[in-house]
A and B are shown apart, each in its own frame.
Chain A
Amino acid sequence: AQSVTQLGSHVSVSEGALVLLRCNYSSSVPPYLFWYVQYPNQGLQLLLKYTTGATLVKGINGFEAEFKKSETSFHLTKPSAHMSDAAEYFCAVSKAAGNKLTFGGGTRVLVKP
């Protein structure tokens, strides 16, 4: 069975500081990995995904994530936080294209002025 662990249910950063959200997964087969963002009272929106190829993936709004197979990690970063980045972020894994997603517990990001 697959599982996803997000370290830290809440993260507080200052505006302009680095955003780092950690995600570790377990999967018996090469995974597809995703980061979704959820703004207050809205559905989930895809930030970025890794399927095959380059392990550094760039997404929307200046976010990127790196797939590290040896560490079974897919951490999300953004060099400079903006107030609009305040949201909840979910890491997810699936076994293959079209397969079901398994989500982590989510990390809520607070951005301080």
Chain B
Amino acid sequence: NAGVTQTPKFRVLKTGQSMTLLCAQDMNHEYMYWYRQDPGMGLRLIHYSVGEGTTAKGEVPDGYNVSRLKKQNFLLGLESAAPSQTSVYFCASSRAPGTGSTDTQYFGPGTRLTVL
């Protein structure tokens, strides 16, 4: 199993450009998450999904959109990138509650995004 994979690994954008980050998991997990990691701030939740076709806002959702059209994929979009969105983005997935092993989240390797 590949676990959680993310593409691309690195990206440089100019202010105002758009892009989509792709997260894929092969563990049949119901829940998926997008976080951003900034120095000294740990990871902050951007958006999450509790199942195919459903998404919800996290702690820092502004400037981002997400879609979960397939259970195994969770896309994060930036419609008009800003320098403040320079960060490392992590995707994670987990089982739904009550399905065995509790709520361990499995993380992808991250995408390093720079917005100039």
- Give chain A's interface residues, CB within 8 Å of chain B: 4, 6, 9, 32, 34, 36, 41-46, 49, 51, 90, 92, 94, 96-106
Since A100-B48, A106-B40 are in contact, a sample of 16 more A-B pairs with Cβ atoms closer than 8 Å, ordered by chain A residue number, is A4-B42, A43-B4, A44-B105, A46-B104, A51-B102, A90-B43, A96-B103, A97-B102, A97-B103, A98-B50, A98-B95, A98-B102, A99-B103, A100-B33, A105-B40, A106-B42
A106 (CB) vs chain B CBs: closest residue: B42
Instruction: For the complex, give the distance between the alpha carbons of A46 and B50 in Å.
Output: 21
Size category of the binding interface on chain B: 20 to 34
A6 (CB) vs chain B CBs: closest residue: B42
- Asked if A43 and B103 make an inter-chain contact with CB atoms under 8 angstroms apart, the answer reads no
A-B contact pairs, 25 of them (CB 8 A): A6-B42, A34-B104, A36-B107, A41-B109, A42-B110, A43-B90, A43-B108, A43-B109, A44-B105, A44-B107, A46-B104, A46-B105, A46-B106, A49-B104, A51-B102, A97-B98, A97-B102, A97-B103, A98-B96, A100-B33, A100-B48, A101-B43, A103-B42, A103-B43, A103-B44
